[in-house]
Structure 1
Amino acid sequence: MAIVSQKVSDLSGKQGADKQFAAVVVRQHPDIDQPKALDVLVNELSAFKDISDDLVVLEIAMPDGTKRDTYVPLEEFNKAATDMPQVLKDARGTRGRVPGTKVAGGNGS
């Protein structure tokens, strides 16, 4: 006697081979307090409309040291300033020195 395990989609209950499944991690949702993993058939992924091309993800650091991620539609983000593409182009990067700063002595010493 053999034990056979079958993988089934958490969305539809349909069976499939391991190579037909994608692992989907739900990181944030109003109904959960921790990430949850779903087994989803690859052909069922179209149920999740990807809006990432029209989404801006912001990390906001408050003066008290707390941080949070905010998700904003691109159209709304661009309304925050008259010329948002230029504002972003001129903004400082998050790595390295702040633009305009110089190393003491100018030779790295």
Structure 2
Amino acid sequence: MSDLAMKFVEAKQVGKLIRVMASLMHPSLLVLDELGYDHLDLEASKLIFKLVAARYEQKSLMVTSNFPISRWSEVFGSDALTQVIADRLIHHAEIINIKGKSYRLKNHL
């Protein structure tokens, strides 16, 4: 499970979810990096949805992923939940699809 998802689940368990969510509403831009690196359980996915929904049309959110949106249900574990998350992210989005060799690996090889 991703660090953010673990932070959400732990905060919920100790009754501090509202505080954590409020702290994630402050930045003008919040970056969710490497979406899909870990598959999320349903509880974590629901908490990610709450974050996306809370920031929707309020603050900027940037998502990076090696997964195409069509495969995000593998990450979130639910087709319906994936649809509502993607709907909010895509509505005002600029989608940049980068193809080619990894920038990080390019200098290493």
Relative contact order (C-alpha < 8 Å, sep 6+): which is higher? 2
Bigger Rg, structure 1 or 2? 1
Q: Same fold (TM over 0.5)?
A: no
Give the TM-score of the pair, scaled to structure 1: 0.19
Give the TM-score of the pair, scaled to structure 2: 0.19
> Higher helix fraction: Structure 1 or Structure 2?
2
